[in-house]
Structures are given as structure tokens and as C-alpha cells.
Structure 1
Amino acid sequence: MTKDMTEVWSKDFVPEGNRASNVDRFTGFEDTYDQHRPEAPQEVVTLLTGYLEHKPSLVVDLGCGTGLSSFAWRDTADQVIGVEPNDDMRGKAIAKWQSLQQEQGSSPHGNAADIKFVSGYSNQLALPDQSADIITCSQSFHWMDPASTLKEVSRVLREDGIFAVYDCDWPPSLTRKVEQTYLELIELAETIIDRHVDTQEQAYKGNKNEHLKHIRESGVFRFSKEIVFHHMEPFTAERYTGLAVSQGGIQTVFKLKQNEINDKIAQFHTLVEEHFQGRTLPVMLSYRMRLGIK
């Protein structure tokens, strides 16, 4: 099935295999998300273009959020299409791209890609058959229905095209006390959600450890593997705390106006500040990529 790229999904229409609660989970904190989450590291681009063995003409980034994973392809691909069903997240991505274009003039200079951000869902893409060289999911495949998404990916990918799912391990490596408190904070958020939100209305998150299994069982790909790599980024105490607060579970608790989480956030922030002591420090981010080549 092919649709015109100008089609915009109705805000109230959620295709079969998707959950409105998964989309709504990311409403209202696009600035916090964009400020503290990591951009896709260069290793992603290097690995995938290496497997493709030529410059990609089209990269499609599914569940692109605020574009942190889309802009990584800006100087590598001819065209990039970020697909994001959440209006707030996609709006932030569009605003960032417009700002970048204004900074460099009305037309991007050099070999910069043509970038678009569109409304859509991973299992119903407004793209022609066999049109994409690379399709990625950065921190997003666990929010999608794997079977119908992979079927649509197969339709849109060219022969020898690459589908890649990559996720960053949370929390980033720092100290035992900080990481343990981070995990306790996330667990408390989920406990509060379970207490106040009916199960049917909660967002559903798939198991990231099954990503490669889904790719292999789809029967779409002639080659598949998992790649583990690390990336160092500068962090301050504010960013490390902000990264934790940008997690969807904590943001959901904020929307529920449940204040019992505030003490745990304060405890976590104190531990983080004690470690950083006003410094900017390199922090290791660990990534797991699962890829399939059609």
C-alpha cells in the first residue's frame, strides 16, 4: 500500500497494531527530552553506511521524536524522512530544522540532506515500495508492533537495504549509588502509574532483548546481527538528572500530579551533584544495535 507523502494522519486515527497511549506518553515534554537525551552517535552512521557500501539516497527514521536520530544523517544521506506520530515531538523536530535552515540561509549549503518530518506510524508508511536504503528505529522499536512494522519495513526497503534498531542502555555508566537510585526512581514511577492508571490505558513497552528475535523471525532479512558499541559524551549534573527526568514514566507521573516522587528525585539529584561537583565529565553511553539486511 502506497500513500501520497502529503497525507497527514488524523490526530484521532490510530492504525491497527498501535496504541494511542504509547503516542500520548510523549506529549508535553519535548523540550526536556530534546535538551537532555543524546543525539544519535556518529558510530550509527559509520556502521550502517559501511554495511550499505554506498551513500544512502533515502534514510527513514521511524519514531524519530525530536529529530535527535534524524539529524545524524544530515551530511551523509541525500534525503532523510523522520516519521513521528506525536505532534509535540514532531513539532520540535520541525522547529529545529527550520532554525538550522535559517542559520545557513534559505537553502542548505554543501552536501546537506533534504530533511522532512512527517506524521505517521511505523506499520503504515506514506512511502513507495522499495524506496528506502536504510530504515532506523532509535529508542523507539519497543513502542511499535514488531510484526506489522517489519512487514511494512520489508515493503519500503530496497533490495540490500538495511533495517536497524538501536537503543542506549539506561542509566549511563557512572557510580553504583547513582545508578541504583536512578533505577529505584524509574521503578517508583511505574509503581505510581500502576496505582493510578488502568492497565488498558497505560503505554505498552516491548522487550528490547527480543528485537533481534523479531528481526530474524520476520523472514525478511538474509543477514542479521547484534552490534554493541560505546560512545563518550560530556555530562553535567543537570544533564544527568535531566536525562532521568526525561524518561516517559516520570513524565507520566508529573501529568498525574502525584508528588510522592519528588523526594526521590531530590535524593537522586543530590547524589548526582555530589559526584559531578560542578564539573563537566565524560560519561559512557552503551548502545545495542540490532540490524537486518534485506
Structure 2
Amino acid sequence: MTNHYKNVERFSGFADLYEDVRPSFPEEAIALACSDLRRKPAVVVDLGSGTGLSTRAWSDHAQLVIGVEPNEEMLEVAEKQRIANVEYQRALAHDTGLQTGCADIVSCAQSFHWMEPHTTLQEINRLLTHDGLFITIDNEWPPVSDWQAEKLYQTLFSKVNHLELTEPNLRDKQRRWAKENHLINLSRSGYFRFTRQVLLSKTEIGDADRFIKLALSQGGIQNILKYQPDLIVDELAEFEHSVKDLFGGQPRQFYFSYRANIGVK
């Protein structure tokens, strides 16, 4: 199995959970992209569109939005919430099959690090109009809510990351590219006249159950639960117990932080 399809398979089995607990797309990112474009986009292409959370967010700001997603289960969830000017197709980001020059904006929300940057940027350049714009959006995990909850999350994912690096049966299940290199990759591609990174944030209400499910919506934990659940079951049970005890049944503000990288063609 190629790296592309290993990454696609990594996101099978938890599409409904992903849709239920992941934060909505930050409106400020859309406003910024449209401001840089200096017109209302006719077509936005959302690569790695998942369950459509990011794709639907563009629906009030463009004439047509096309979500491109290779994972069948994610697409099935997206299709359940169809909007008139939003459509989806199953394809890989570096080989969309879409018409050359069709998109005013191409976006990747929490997905560009799963795409081989060289071939994907080639495809993005092909899709964009002569003055189009590419934007990546990435969450910082976990959301800020309570320092003790965040420490519990960090401890759990320290274990997750260690297992994915050291266990052969887990290490070979995916390939990712560092998020911190996104802006460098955009700049070095030669496709964009201008690039920049912007920090954004938004708040949503959450409780212990959502905080726990946000952790469970991460591909790293799902990878372990699919193939070697015995390696994480005790740590996960302790995490869930401690988070519930800490929150005490009360909701609180979740502060989600984002890094947006923008390339203007």
C-alpha cells in the first residue's frame, strides 16, 4: 500500500466522531482569504475535506464549493449534510481530476500535513486561477481550557507519539509532513508571489466528554486502537477518568488556536 492510501486508511472508522466533536472552521480565515483575493470567489476547492466541516464553511462566501476527499467513510458523512452550492468528489489531493484554472481559492483545513507537498502544490497551482489563493489551516492541540486538562492531554499523546515511533506495526501505517514546514514549502515552490502565516483563534463551549472525544478523534489514538489497543487502554482509561473528575460535570470555554498559511499566486 502506498503512503497516500495508508494516510487515507488512517482516517477510517471514526468519521461520525470527527464530525461531532471537531471545531467549526474559523470565519476569520475565510474573511482574510477573500480580502486577499479582492473579490468573492466563484469556486473554492477544499482538499482533504473530510466530513465537510471546512467545506460547508465556504458555502456562504462562494458560488460553488468542491470538497475533495479520498476516504469513503468521511465522504459518506459529508454527503448527509448536502448544501445546494457544495459538492464532493472522491480523489487524492495531488490528482483531483478537476479542470485546470477552475478555482479562485484552494484550501486545506487540518489536512495538508497528510499530503506530499511537492506534487500537491503542483496540483494546487494547476487548479488556481492566474491570481488565485491557497490557504492552509491547522489546529493547535489541545484546545486551551484548563492547564491541568491540557497536561493530561500532553501526557497521553506523549505515549501515543512514542508508540507510533517505536512500534513497527504502528510506525508503518502513515506518512506525514511537518506542519511547521508548510510556509517554507509554499514559499519555495515558486508558485506564489506572496506568502504569509497568520495566527487565529476562536472559542466554543465544551465539557469533559467533548475534551475526551477530541482526543479520540486524533488519528494517532485511532491507529493504536485499531491495531494494538492493549498498548494504550490503561493510559486512555486514566485520561478519561481524570478529565471527568477535573471538569466536575461543568462546561467551560474551549479556546482553539490556528495557524493559517496563505499563498497568493
The Cα shift of 1:256 comes to: 1.4
1:127 to 70, 91, 98: 98
Does 2:219 match 1:248? yes
CA deviation string 1:85-110 (max 9, x = no partner): 1111111111222xxx6xxxxxx4xx
> Equivalent residue for 2:25?
40
Aligned mates of 1:86, 1:180 — CA distance in 2: 32
Question: Cα offset for 1:257?
Answer: 4.3
Equivalenced residue count is: 264
Letter in 1 for 2:186: I
Give 1:40's aligned amino acid.
Answer: F
C-alpha root-mean-square deviation of aligned residues, in Å?
1.6
Distance in 1 (CA, whole Å) between partners of 2:157 and 2:173 is: 15
**Structure 1: gaps of 5 or more residues:** 1-11, 102-107, 109-113
Residue from 13, 27, 35 that aligns with 1:28: 13
Corresponding residue for residue 53 of structure 2: 68
Aligned-residue offset at 1:270: 2.7
Partner of 2:75: 90
What letter matches 2:36 in structure 1?
A: Y
CA contact (8 A) 1:223 1:292 kept: yes
Instruction: Kindly report which structure 2 residues correspond to 1:199-278, keeping only aligned pairs within 5 A, or say none.
Output: 199=171, 201-278=172-249
Shift of 1:204: 1.1
Letter in 2 for 1:149: T
Q: Which residue of 1 aligns with 2:34?
A: 49
Structure 1 counterpart of 2:199, one-letter code:
V
TM value normalised by structure 2: 0.94
| Amino acid of the structure 2 residue aligned with 1:159 | H
Tell me which residue corresponds to 2:262. Answer: 291
Identity rate, percent: 38
Of the three residues 137, 160, 167, the one matched with 1:195 is 167
Once the two structures are TM-superposed, the CA of residue 282 in structure 1 deviates from its matched residue by 1.3
- 8 Å contact kept, 1:62–1:136: yes
Contact 2:206 2:251 in 1 (8 A): yes
| Corresponding letter in the other structure for 1:56 | P
1:59 aligns with 2:44: yes
Distance 1:64 1:198 in 2: 25
Q: TM-score, normalised by structure 1?
A: 0.85
Alignment of structure 1 residues 134-173 onto 2, 5 Å = 134-173=105-144
